[in-house]
Amino acid sequence: MNRPPIQKTVRISIDSRSCKKCGICYGFCSQNVFTLARDGTPEVTNPSNCTYCRLCDLRCPDFAITLEVIS
C-alpha cells in the first residue's frame, strides 16, 4: 500500500535522563526516524520522515520520548 506521506513537521526529543536504551523506538519505527549510537543510545536522525503515528511515544516504557507537532 503506497499511501502519500503525511506532511507534518514533528519535533522529537528524547530525555536522556529517562532513556534506558532498550531500543524499542528504533526497532519499531517504520519510517527509520531513529538510529542507534554504538552504546545503544537512540538518536533522532531523520525527523522529517516522522508521520506522527505516536507509537514510539506510546511504546516507550520510560516515558522518555516527547513529540510536538510544529506545523
Partner 1 sequence: MSGYTFKSYLEKSQLPHMWCPGCGDGIILRAYTEALAELCLAPQEVVTVTGIGCWGKADDYLGTHAFHGTHGRALAFATGIKLGNPDLTVVALMGDGDAVTIGGNHFIHAARRNINLTAIVTNNYNYGMTGGQYSATTPLEGKTTTSPNGTAEPGFDLCFLAEAAGANFVARTTCYHAVALKNMIKEAISHQGFSLVEVVSSCPTYFGRFNVHPSPVKMLNWLKDKAVPVQKYREMSAAEQAEHFAVSTLVNKNRPDFYTTYKRINRPDQSAKGEE
Residue choice 22, 31, 51, 67 for contact with partner 1 (CB under 8 A):
22
Cell of 49: 520522515
Detail the DSSP E strand segments found in the chain: 10-14, 34-36, 42-44, 65-69
In angstroms, rounded to a whole number, what is the distance separating the alpha carbons of residues 61 and 63? Answer: 6
Q: How far is the CB of 33 from partner 1 (least distance, A)?
A: 15
Number of residues that bind partner 1 (CB under 8 A): 18
Q: How far is the CB of 17 from partner 1 (least distance, A)?
A: 7
Residue whose CB is less far from partner 1, 41 or 49: 41
Residue 24 in contact with partner 1, rule: CB under 8 A = yes
In angstroms, rounded to a whole number, what is the distance separating the alpha carbons of residues 41 and 21? Answer: 5
